[in-house]
Structure 1
């Protein structure tokens, strides 16, 4: 992936199809003005725009690593949208989400990944575990895999819980050692036997230029820290991820140790 070509399309919402109530932030299936269906993550949901930032940044990092992620698009929600919605909770959510939201292309017919049914090869498992260790993604467990099988291929979805350090307030991105014990619960950890090789390949792919280009996609309106400029907030994400990349040997060793403890 060339950093210079990174961009997201913008579509307009035309129809609210149905809420997806299995998600804590009440995402929804919506139709857009390009005729496609999307799973929409709303900036007015409980987790706020930081969940959308994580979804965008981690999703595009996954794509840069060659992993399958549904197309991400910006979705514009008009202020008049949802006024006739009878459900007050949904109506409030739509009202608070006027403007720019994030959406994933809907994979019609996809089924939830089940580790008891589908075996993932060691390289792919290692790539997913490495990405989730890099980005502190706590949400890839057997209880909630956030992966789909579509046309016999593994697809990654729902990265809003990643980068959880950005909820910690001022100074969250300052370089410091940070363990990630939750990696022991990763659904693909038992198959992730090629972490060392994947580490070297992935660090080579995620260049400083690519990191900056991905973070630059984050809209100003989602960067809501009152005492920092949008550029300063983007710089914090770059700083955090550059430090995590530089310390990749540490989180790879942590994941390997957790995997060996499972065997």
Structure 2
């Protein structure tokens, strides 16, 4: 079980496989590196793949105190520094995509490329509906706990009849979170934003949108247009947890993107 102890004493668990240019796979809220079980083996054929559990998640330490995207990203940067990684291809799902954006603006020296899956550069609730949705999630967590929330989330993640096994797995994994830790991690996303810093993202960015994601394609199109070197691809017959329900499409998209990024003499994508 590889681990790395950060400067503040927190220990992060991670898995590593393969050889070559490094890829960092960042998971979603309340989850762990298991998000990438069907993706990492294929990517590790030509790359060194590092899959950490964020602070408060999976097998990593769950210290007291406030959590947040900036803190999660600093942890991951410290992990990479400790492992001697540079020029990293960052791939993030949901909360992991937020961490990727934070890394891209705070540590451009570290991030060679960024792939964002069903995520965005902010979590500011600008409509009454979004505010009520977030308040409802926090309310369920506080009053009923992670397992009750997981039972509500799983059918949205995996709505098809043949996805029953994936629904059960989601309930078990999300429901296993410690209530206080999950609540603090969820609160830590509220109000986060790097939207005004997107113009400073120097690396190429691939935005992946699932047809059944929580947020519409138009939201991804809007922020993709603000990035200097980015393009957007749609994942068909997929929900929010794309690396789980459509790992093949995710791998194909990431591998194609990395071939472009790693090609000799690559220029920024023209607008």
TM-score, normalisation: structure 2: 0.30
Higher relative contact order (CA 8 A, sep 6+): 1
TM-score, normalisation: structure 1: 0.30
